[in-house]
Chains A and B, each alone.
Chain A
């Protein structure tokens, strides 16, 4: 039984923490939060590239480090803990995973080395309005290699170089690679719950689009990419949830009320114990997702769903109860609780809301029972 990080993976995780402790403090996060014109921390993004994290799971033949997905999960956990304000998920969990999953040899050779080298920021564009996009509602359309339509919201869409876009072509849904610097692309930055991450509305009017994967497979491929992203994001959520528990504990230990530290009151102790229980449950489910992702197991859809549901719940609970534990101070802009409260919402929504994943999980259970 080896259901945990290996010593090497723990070492990597620890190195990542050291790097982020130095280069991604709350002050770094706040520079992005407090400046509407700053989309992300450019220096951190470069540093992360120099560490090789962007290509951690990209094969060596394409310029990556060729490590496993579990190593990437370890990095993700630390990025989540640090609330890193960079387009890492969009580029690594969505774009790179989509290309590795569905790309032709030429597409892989063209894009993966650039991603690994930090030369490309990615985005993944599916949503077109409130609710979940589905084959009946999908409007974006490709005709003669030209994409038209509107995608909103697209995380990092305003700063990305390359987007994966879900659109119909000849009545069949497909995925398309679109270079966003080209003609026929209009981008508008949006205000969101989490200003430490950048989000755009992108209007395509005849933008050059190249199909990624087979025609008609757009939704199936998106599900497969989201399974991968969900596992990796689950580790960011876990890292964030753990940090919230630490913050709540540290604050409660130092805060005195009615003549003693509030950490001694059962109302607080039980609250923190509840956070711990949810975090450990999320960790176990996330590890299972990491295993399934790493070995390409047939169980990945169910493992990813469970990881996403458990980690979304844990991070939401930890982030809101962290604010509560801090009392009035927790509600101020100056204290960092809201950074995690915001990020918990961003991560819970970016790959589809938990409700969608619960439905997906139950569908998988039904499928498994029918088999």
Chain B
């Protein structure tokens, strides 16, 4: 039992580190940049990575990858995380959407789209969730009706990351409401700049706008834009979603070292808050959870390093990290006492990072699978417990009760 690289892994790590040292862009204060400015930097960095084949590394060489092993991919990400490079713009596209295109599109479409996506010239988004189809995404209502060689699409998607800067998207729609919900879906790729597509930012409870609503009004797409057979959309979506866990990164935000520092410098009636027994017990719990998650990732890496399929242990990650972020942020805010209400970054400790995390954490507990859905997944797929009773399985979509 150790944390060492194998000789091959160590050699690869050195190669990666050398390349990053020679090529990583100058450090910039990303907080001071606007999103378009950041995007420009991100595209330049992606192009550089693509040229050296340090993106989509596990893909075959013919598709722009380098046929790397999963552990080499992890090693690259570990090393890149030590550099201050712009990231996050391409994860969903290259992690989920383009692999779906690769799996289901004809050769001509693949020729057209894969390379520009790898080079960061075109960005993709995923259009699945709807206002009335969140955890139950197969209950979606956006409708596609065939009209000659075209399909005409009307409806609305929601929680679409990056829709406002994306060039293309994969869109899951209902093509047949007369059959049970999973059987009437079809997947298309669409041009996000086409007429009939309107992107509106969502104003989140945290104040920011990281996601969008996307409205479709008589959007016309060619039948050649279809991915998979008519009615097979759910099967196609499962291929996309299979990659989701890999594409959605871990949470960031203050953790036990930051709240420990805050407590040390916070004065209470009985001295430093760090001397408080109740606080110390909580701090120990946060440490155990944070380190436990890091070590759990090492177990996953071990499986990859041994050429095995990782076990299901990685499924615990987001449940723990999201809840801990909420719990820890609130504890920090309460630690600041009356002062904790202040969100002014010039005044609040750590530029109000705890206040910001407090308002962001509720979203983290929902995005990419709610706590409740993740527990169902653990119960059913890891522990082998039976699925819930399904009242909608054999009912035509149009006859399903919908609430509002």
| Chain A positions near chain B (C-beta within 8 angstroms) | 1-6, 70, 245, 249, 252-253, 260-261, 263-264, 266, 268-270, 272-274, 276-277, 280-285, 287-288, 290-291, 294-295, 305-306, 309-310, 313, 355, 357-359, 361-362, 365-366, 369
Residue interface mask B362-375, A partner, CB < 8 A = 1: 00000000001011
B3 touches A3 (CB 8 A): yes
Cβ contacts A to B, 11 pairs, < 8 Å: A2-B2, A3-B299, A3-B302, A5-B1, A70-B1, A268-B385, A287-B1, A287-B299, A291-B2, A305-B284, A358-B284
* Complex Cα spacing A309 to B287, Å: 10
A281 touches B289 (CB 8 A): yes
B389 touches A358 (CB 8 A): no
Shortest B196–chain A CB gap in Å is 40
A277 touches B295 (CB 8 A): no
Shortest A154–chain B CB gap in Å is 28
Interface residue ranges of B265-302 to A (CB < 8 Å):
274, 277, 280-281, 283-285, 287-289, 291-293, 295-296, 298-299, 301-302
Query: 14 more A-B contacts (CB under 8 A) besides A4-B1, A269-B375?
Result: A1-B298, A249-B383, A264-B387, A266-B376, A269-B383, A284-B292, A284-B295, A284-B296, A284-B313, A285-B291, A287-B299, A305-B284, A362-B287, A365-B287
Could you say which residues of chain B place their CB within 8 Å of the CB of A290? 1
Q: Does B380 contact A (CB under 8 A)?
A: yes
Q: Does B386 contact A (CB under 8 A)?
A: yes
| Residue of A1, A2, A249, A253 ringed by the most chain B CB atoms within 10 A | A1
Could you say which residues of chain B place their CB within 8 Å of the CB of A291? 1-3
Could you say which residues of chain B place their CB within 8 Å of the CB of A306? 287-288, 291-292
| CB within 8 Å for A249 and B385 given contacts A284-B292, A362-B284 | yes
* Complex Cα spacing A357 to B383, Å: 31
- Identify the closest chain B residue to A274 (Cβ): B375
Shortest A296–chain B CB gap in Å is 13
* Complex Cα spacing A245 to B385, Å: 12
Q: Does B400 contact A (CB under 8 A)?
A: no
A359 touches B319 (CB 8 A): no
Could you say which residues of chain A place their CB within 8 Å of the CB of B388? 264, 266
A1 touches B293 (CB 8 A): no
* Complex Cα spacing A369 to B264, Å: 11
Could you say which residues of chain B place their CB within 8 Å of the CB of A281? 288-289, 292-293, 296, 316, 320
From A3, A261, A358, B280 is in contact (CB under 8 Å) with A358
| Chain B positions near chain A (C-beta within 8 angstroms) | 1-5, 9, 71, 256, 260, 274, 277, 280-281, 283-285, 287-289, 291-293, 295-296, 298-299, 301-305, 313, 316, 319-320, 372, 374-376, 378-380, 382-389
* Complex Cα spacing A277 to B298, Å: 16
A285 touches B288 (CB 8 A): yes
B284 touches A287 (CB 8 A): no
A365 touches B283 (CB 8 A): yes
| CB within 8 Å for A309 and B288 given contacts A273-B379, A284-B295 | yes
B385 touches A269 (CB 8 A): yes
| CB within 8 Å for A270 and B305 given contacts A3-B298, A284-B292 | no
A252 touches B292 (CB 8 A): no
* Complex Cα spacing A2 to B378, Å: 25
- Identify the closest chain A residue to B274 (Cβ): A366
Could you say which residues of chain A place their CB within 8 Å of the CB of B374? 273
* Complex Cα spacing A284 to B301, Å: 13
* Complex Cα spacing A273 to B375, Å: 6
The 9 closest A-B CB pairs, nearest first, are A358-B284, A269-B379, A284-B295, A273-B375, A281-B292, A273-B378, A3-B298, A264-B386, A284-B296
Could you say which residues of chain B place their CB within 8 Å of the CB of A270? 372, 375-376, 379
Shortest A2–chain B CB gap in Å is 5
A264 touches B385 (CB 8 A): yes
| CB within 8 Å for A1 and B292 given contacts A261-B386, A362-B284, A365-B287 | no
| CB within 8 Å for A272 and B383 given contacts A280-B296, A285-B292, A287-B1 | yes
B301 touches A276 (CB 8 A): no
* Complex Cα spacing A268 to B376, Å: 10
Could you say which residues of chain A place their CB within 8 Å of the CB of B2? 2-3, 291, 295
From A260, A273, A313, B383 is in contact (CB under 8 Å) with A273
* Complex Cα spacing A295 to B1, Å: 9
From A260, A309, A362, B389 is in contact (CB under 8 Å) with A260
Shortest A370–chain B CB gap in Å is 11
* Complex Cα spacing A4 to B313, Å: 13
- Identify the closest chain A residue to B303 (Cβ): A4
Could you say which residues of chain A place their CB within 8 Å of the CB of B320? 277, 281
A277 touches B1 (CB 8 A): no
* Complex Cα spacing A248 to B297, Å: 27
A276 touches B292 (CB 8 A): no
* Complex Cα spacing A52 to B320, Å: 40
Shortest A307–chain B CB gap in Å is 9
* Complex Cα spacing A283 to B302, Å: 14
* Complex Cα spacing A357 to B281, Å: 9
B299 touches A4 (CB 8 A): yes
B385 touches A253 (CB 8 A): yes
